[in-house]
């Protein structure tokens, strides 16, 4: 028995160390696969010998507790908001007020202002005891159960030089890459997408099932230490100490001697923030010395020793000319606002997505409204409000359509779905063409055809589903405008080559609702062939990791349709791969979980490079960070990425060097 206890103790300590290095220091000491094996071993031991399990075991990070109601708890220290400033003059006024109270012997800290959900964490004897949201500033909701699932927040602290009882505050965020992946998964599952990472983070933390919270890519940066017996007399050194205790503290915090240095920091990050993987809407400036902070004190709403400089989000006003409705390949209806063209953040904006009926209702849009438009995440235009004063008298409130704009079928919206759907899957032209375009895509079957070719084939009546592609003849293709002998030969050769595409990519290519690239890979790997997948029960499907009821129901519904079975049988007859081949996975872990950023132009398409990274066990990431292992540099790559990689000491390799890695 003693050996079991020692084994559990050692595994717990080992996994805690791996978590700290990965989520706080951005260092990978072992592969994800090796970590999962060790975590599973610890889970099995704890299940068999629960008396030896640690209260702060890494296995507790997966959640599982359900909180029916969030208890409201008073903050020990008021959780005030910061006063905002928007220009140099206001910032110098703030500095003048500080100087007037405490003299001239002081310095500041500058920190990026995270755009997330404020959180206050309490620790006693080195253990996390409570996590509260800001609430109204005097009390907040107890979200401790959910916060414990966030891996960058320590449940127990490192070292032993921390105060016995203290509070530390920070921001729960979702990275842009995590948010994009998370939203994509929700959209594929027919669930409502979040408008931005902040809403996603806030919505996640207030979920009642902590197991669901654990699945979301949440992170947390800490920025303010409170309590007695702090390790230093200044804010900067206190956070450096907190970093040693296991807290994730921003690497971008600096000290500034005066307003000029603050402005230099602001001007740099106003541009450089676009390269970050998280959203920041400004800079927080704080008087560094704690005694000086106490002398400056507080107003009723905010501290006098800190201020937030807000970056300007460019906003324009333009006319909503009309709303059109797009039909996707799954039948999902997406409303799009057609705007009077206007320049915004360096580009001309003509349209903005309205996502679904709920967004239109929330905005209370009327015909010919003048709307305010911003670029969400500085990339996607979005309508953020309406100029009511310019609304035309007796203008009609916009009503969401009830029938498909393409085929006239009555739209459906099932409970839990964010979008309306056209159910006429096999006869609605945009759905047919959308499925064909999805099937031939580069990440799917990689067939040498484009949207125009699909349109021409559909209009001629040559194709009505993906199986029809493999019955095409040279005689048919020569009837298409612009098709000559060479283009016909290229398309037919491309179709022949596509028969070598792996089962997992083929499954993704079929366009089954909710089955994205990751889900297709899991299903193909788990079941091995189409016959096993076809005959799987709902329970068998759910047993596959990350396969929920919506995906399982969609799979069963797909295989229950005789037309889908006919298409699959025709594809099998055409020679496509509907089973995993052993050779497909022989290099699976060659890149051993290493993360890569691909930037620039290469001799092969970038998507092919990224696919190779994934096929060989590597990870594709969009932005350079301390967690990046390699930057594959092509021609005309972004100088900001190169500079950041050099600064962080990340290995920069060429296309040829990468190919040699996987040979």
Whether residues 107 and 162 fall in one domain: yes
| Torsion angle in degrees (nearest 10) through CA of 62, 64, 65, 68 | 120
In the predicted model, what is the mean pLDDT of the chain? 87
| Distance (Å, whole) CA 269 – CA 250 | 14
> What confidence tens digit (pLDDT) does each residue in 415-471 have?
777 889 999 988 999 999 999 999 998 888 999 888 889 999 999 999 999 999 999
Q: What is the mean pLDDT of residues 236-257?
A: 95
> What confidence tens digit (pLDDT) does each residue in 628-641 have?
889 999 887 777 78
CATH label of the domain that carries residue 213: 3.30.470.30
In the listed set 265, 291, 310, which residue is the last one of a domain according to the structure? Answer: 310
| pLDDT given at position 445 | 93
CATH label of the domain that carries residue 463: 1.10.150.20
CATH label of the domain that carries residue 593: 3.40.50.10190
* 295: CB partners within 8 A, 6+ apart: 101, 102
Whether residues 301 and 321 fall in one domain: no
> What confidence tens digit (pLDDT) does each residue in 147-194 have?
999 989 999 999 899 999 999 999 999 988 888 888 887 776 666 677
In the listed set 310, 332, 354, which residue is the last one of a domain according to the structure? Answer: 310
| pLDDT given at position 583 | 47
Helices H / strands E in the chain, number of each: 24, 20
The DSSP secondary-structure symbol of 66 reads: B
Q: Is 109 exposed, middle or buried (0-12, 13-18, 19+ CB in 10 A)?
A: buried
- Domain contains 560: yes
Point out which residues pair with 225 in neighbouring strands: 168
Confidence at 589, pLDDT banded by 50, 70, 90: low
> What confidence tens digit (pLDDT) does each residue in 342-398 have?
887 556 889 988 888 998 998 999 999 999 998 754 456 888 889 999 998 889 999
The structure tokens 């978590």 sit at 19
| Distance (Å, whole) CA 116 – CA 583 | 45
Which residue range(s) make up the domain with 646?
588-662
How do the residues of the chain divide into helix, strand and coil, expressed in percent and rounded to 5?
40, 20, 40
**Is 113 designated active site?**
yes
| Distance (Å, whole) CA 346 – CA 383 | 17
Q: Which of 559, 566, 525 is nearest to 545 (CA)?
A: 525
- Domain contains 544: yes
Q: Which of 162, 152, 75, 161 is nearest to 123 (CA)?
A: 162
| pLDDT given at position 584 | 45
| pLDDT given at position 378 | 46
Sheet strand arrangement including 280-287: 84-85, 306-310, 280-287, 108-114, 254-256
Whether residues 235 and 318 fall in one domain: no
Structure tokens at 416: 């839990």
CATH label of the domain that carries residue 54: 1.10.287.610
Q: Is 535 exposed, middle or buried (0-12, 13-18, 19+ CB in 10 A)?
A: exposed
597 pLDDT higher than 50: yes
Number of domains within the chain = 5
Whether residues 234 and 248 fall in one domain: yes
Whether residues 190 and 242 fall in one domain: yes
Identify the weakest region by mean pLDDT among 48-57, 254-263, 303-312: 48-57
Q: Helix or strand or coil: residue 110?
A: strand
223 pLDDT higher than 80: yes
| Distance (Å, whole) CA 609 – CA 654 | 12
Q: Helix or strand or coil: residue 502?
A: coil
> What confidence tens digit (pLDDT) does each residue in 46-96 have?
878 888 888 778 776 665 555 556 788 999 998 988 888 988 999 999 999
Q: Helix or strand or coil: residue 73?
A: strand
- Domain contains 537: yes
CB 8 within 8 A of CB 54: yes
Q: Helix or strand or coil: residue 124?
A: strand
Whether residues 287 and 223 fall in one domain: yes
Q: How far are the Cα atoms of 75, 105, 579 from residue 289, in angstroms, in the given order?
A: 24, 10, 65
* Angle (nearest 5°) at CA 234 between 229 and 238: 60
- Domain contains 343: yes
CB 345 within 8 A of CB 378: yes
249 pLDDT higher than 60: yes
CB 183 within 8 A of CB 41: no
CB 381 within 8 A of CB 352: yes
Q: Which of 258, 244, 233 is nearest to 110 (CA)?
A: 258
Whether residues 81 and 30 fall in one domain: no
Q: Is the dihedral of CA 224, 230, 234, 239 positive or negative?
A: negative
Residues counted in the chain: 663
The structure tokens 């438009």 sit at 373
Q: Which of 72, 224, 227, 220 is nearest to 135 (CA)?
A: 72
* Angle (nearest 5°) at CA 175 between 208 and 188: 65
- Domain contains 644: yes
627 pLDDT higher than 70: yes
pTM (whole model) above 0.85: no
Confidence at 236, pLDDT banded by 50, 70, 90: very high
Which pairing describes strands 84-85 and 117-124: parallel, antiparallel, or unpaired?
A: unpaired
Whether residues 491 and 573 fall in one domain: yes
Whether residues 306 and 182 fall in one domain: yes
* 388: CB partners within 8 A, 6+ apart: none
Point out which residues pair with 127 in neighbouring strands: 124, 156
Whether residues 327 and 274 fall in one domain: no
Structure tokens at 65: 């507790």
In the listed set 532, 567, 583, which residue is the last one of a domain according to the structure? Answer: 583
Q: Which of 65, 63, 45, 62 is nearest to 54 (CA)?
A: 45
The structure tokens 């007399």 sit at 233
| Distance (Å, whole) CA 311 – CA 449 | 44
| pLDDT given at position 68 | 55
| pLDDT given at position 184 | 80
Q: Which of 324, 317, 321, 313 is nearest to 371 (CA)?
A: 317
- Domain contains 67: no
Question: Which listed residue (16, 113, 594, 641) is catalytic?
Answer: 113
- Domain contains 68: no
- Domain contains 656: yes
Q: What is the mean pLDDT of residues 205-231?
A: 89
100 pLDDT higher than 60: yes
Whether residues 86 and 228 fall in one domain: yes
Whether residues 380 and 460 fall in one domain: no
622 pLDDT higher than 80: no
* 98: CB partners within 8 A, 6+ apart: 106, 287, 296, 304, 305
Cα–chain center distance at 644: 22
Point out which residues pair with 348 in neighbouring strands: 343
Query: Does 592 or 539 have the greater pLDDT score?
Result: 539
Q: Is 267 exposed, middle or buried (0-12, 13-18, 19+ CB in 10 A)?
A: exposed
């Amino acid at each position: 028995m003693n050996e079991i206890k020692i084994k559990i103790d050692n595994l717990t300590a080992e996994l805690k160390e791996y978590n700290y290095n990965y989520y706080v220091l951005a260092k990978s000491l072992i592969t994800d696969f090796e970590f999962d094996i060790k975590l599973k071993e610890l889970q099995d031991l704890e299940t068999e010998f629960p008396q030896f399990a640690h209260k702060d075991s890494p296995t507790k990070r997966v959640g599982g507790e359900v909180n029916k109601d969030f208890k409201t708890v008073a903050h020990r220290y008021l959780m005030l908001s910061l006063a905002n400033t928007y220009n140099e003059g206001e910032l110098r006024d703030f500095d003048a007020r500080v100087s007037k109270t405490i003299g001239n012997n002081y310095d500041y800290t500058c920190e990026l202002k995270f755009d997330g959900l404020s959180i206050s964490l309490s620790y006693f004897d080195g253990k996390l005891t409570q996590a509260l949201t800001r609430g109204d500033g005097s009390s907040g909701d107890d979200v401790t159960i959910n916060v414990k699932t966030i891996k960058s927040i320590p449940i127990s602290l490192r070292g032993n030089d921390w105060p016995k009882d203290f509070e530390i505050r920070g921001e729960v965020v979702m990275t842009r890459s995590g948010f994009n992946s998370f939203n994509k998964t929700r959209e594929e599952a027919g669930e409502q997408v979040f408008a931005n990472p902040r809403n996603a983070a806030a919505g996640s933390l207030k979920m009642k099932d902590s197991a669901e919270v654990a699945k979301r890519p949440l992170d947390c940066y800490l920025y303010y230490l409170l309590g007695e017996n702090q390790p230093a007399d200044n804010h900067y050194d206190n956070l450096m100490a907190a970093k040693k205790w296991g807290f994730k503290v921003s690497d971008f915090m600096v000290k500034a001697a005066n307003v000029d240095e603050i402005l230099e920091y602001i001007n740099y990050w106003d541009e450089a923030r676009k390269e970050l993987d998280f959203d920041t809407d400004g800079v927080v400036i704080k008087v560094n010395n704690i005694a000086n902070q106490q002398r400056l004190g507080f107003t009723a709403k905010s501290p006098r020793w800190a201020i937030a400089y807000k970056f300007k989000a460019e906003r324009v006003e333009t006319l909503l000319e009309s709303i059109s409705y797009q039909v996707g390949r799954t039948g999902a209806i997406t409303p799009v606002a057609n705007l009077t063209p206007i320049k915004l953040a360096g580009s001309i904006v003509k349209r903005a997505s309205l996502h679904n009926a709920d967004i239109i209702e929330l905005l209370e849009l009327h015909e010919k409204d003048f709307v305010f438009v911003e670029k969400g995440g500085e990339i996607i235009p979005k309508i953020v409000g309406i100029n009511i004063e310019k609304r035309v008298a007796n203008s009609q409130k916009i009503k969401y359509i009830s029938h498909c704009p393409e085929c006239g079928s009555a739209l459906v919206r099932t409970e839990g779905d964010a979008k309306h759907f056209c159910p006429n899957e096999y006869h609605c032209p945009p759905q047919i063409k959308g499925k064909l375009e999805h099937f031939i895509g580069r990440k799917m079957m990689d067939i040498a055809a484009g949207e125009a070719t699909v349109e021409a084939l559909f209009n001629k009546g040559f194709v009505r589903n993906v199986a029809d592609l493999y019955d095409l003849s040279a005689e048919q293709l020569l009837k298409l405008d612009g098709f000559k002998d060479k283009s016909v030969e290229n398309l037919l050769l491309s179709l022949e080559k596509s028969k070598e595409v792996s089962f997992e990519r083929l499954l993704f290519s079929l366009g089954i609702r909710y089955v994205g690239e990751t889900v297709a890979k899991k299903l193909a790997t788990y079941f091995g062939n189409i016959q096993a997948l076809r005959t799987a029960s709902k329970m068998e499907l759910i047993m596959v990791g990350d396969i929920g009821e919506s995906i399982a129901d969609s799979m069963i519904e797909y295989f229950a349709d005789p037309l889908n079975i006919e298409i699959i049988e025709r594809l099998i007859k055409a020679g496509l791969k509907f089973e995993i081949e052993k050779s497909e996975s022989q290099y699976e872990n060659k890149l051993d979980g290493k993360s890569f950023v691909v930037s620039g132009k290469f001799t092969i398409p970038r998507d092919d490079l990224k696919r190779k990274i994934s096929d060989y066990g590597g990870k594709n990431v969009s932005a350079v960070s301390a967690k990046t292992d390699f930057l594959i540099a092509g021609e005309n790559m972004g100088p900001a990425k190169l500079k950041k990689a050099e600064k962080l000491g990340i290995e920069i390799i060429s296309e040829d060097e990468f190919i040699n890695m996987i040979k």
